[in-house]
Copies of this chain bind each other. A is one copy, B any other.
């Protein structure tokens, strides 16, 4: 028999050094397992653990039970077809699913992801349609005096013509970085599907890194600790840093490096949670820069009158704002802890006759909502 080259597909890294070991129940373990009825079974081999749970954005944390081989498992659902993030807690230690390589990276944590396919998730699934590219682009930020990365989606066909495209700046939330909208956010696939169905115009989607080095005067609080008395002032200064980074570094870089159209009519801005706060900070300070604005799962904190006073110039120029901002869209889930603050924002905009849409969806402060908000928002841009 002829011996060829092996692919090494099954050779462990240090096979030469390591002795062969006995098989364990872990070897053939499958986790997660998506069942035909949309329930999902999670499994973890942890024979010595005394308590294992799985938590994620699919619902309340679930206790797992151990079999006689040391395998913990639980079945949840049925779940609505979608992408879900989850992690295990093994005697209090947070861990990703060691049997699942599909992960959601972030700046403060890593989670596992599971996809439950089905009609409801078609909008965000990898379909047989033309695909845009998602590029990692580095630039020097003068504002932050460092090198920064952004993810940029270019639509299908971008390389094949000399057309100029409008640009949608799309911001992530706290704990994520510029890759978030391309991993758990599924932005590229959502845009591919919308563009293929001619529901959305071909556009660039720029996903910057909105997580900034936290200034010394704004330390992270210990859980339960009260904020310092001038916390909001310090936070507003901190937000100003991102406003500057976006307007003076990111947009100029994009308009220099890519074939894009310029001016407010060709620029959209939206963000979730922290990114929704950043979006509001940008539009209240520079209402002439973006023709389309989305504020998702973000809110006014504290007293709305204080917010009104702080942004008096913005609220006093409703006519100008309405002329530039063709779409001002606010979305929040009815389970979101920022629901009340979002309602306050809606009320303030109403009071000052600033045209906007306010949409309360089901659900909470999760990517489940944010992907759907993107899917609803993108078709309304640049029409």
Contact = CB atoms under 8 A, between A and B. Distances in A.
B136 A44 contact: no
Contact of A101 (B49, B108, B307): B108
A173 to B, nearest CB: 7
Contacts of A45: 92-93
A301 B298 CA distance: 59
B238 A2 contact: no
Contacts of A28: 222
Interface string A165-207: 0000000011000000010000010000000000000000000
Interface stretch (A13-21, A261-269, A321-329): A13-21
A216 interface: no
A91 interface: yes
A27 to B, nearest CB: 6
A67 B10 CA distance: 39
A78 interface: no
A349 interface: no
B277 A5 contact: yes
A7 B278 contact: yes
Top-8 shortest CB links A-B: A16-B337, A3-B302, A95-B95, A131-B138, A48-B91, A4-B236, A3-B306, A20-B224
Interface of A: 1-11, 13-17, 20-23, 27-28, 44-50, 90-96, 98, 101, 103, 105-110, 126, 128, 131, 133-138, 140, 147, 159, 173-174, 182, 188, 214, 220-224, 229-230, 232-233, 235-236, 238-239, 257-258, 273-274, 277-278, 280-281, 298-303, 306-307, 309-310, 336-337, 364-366
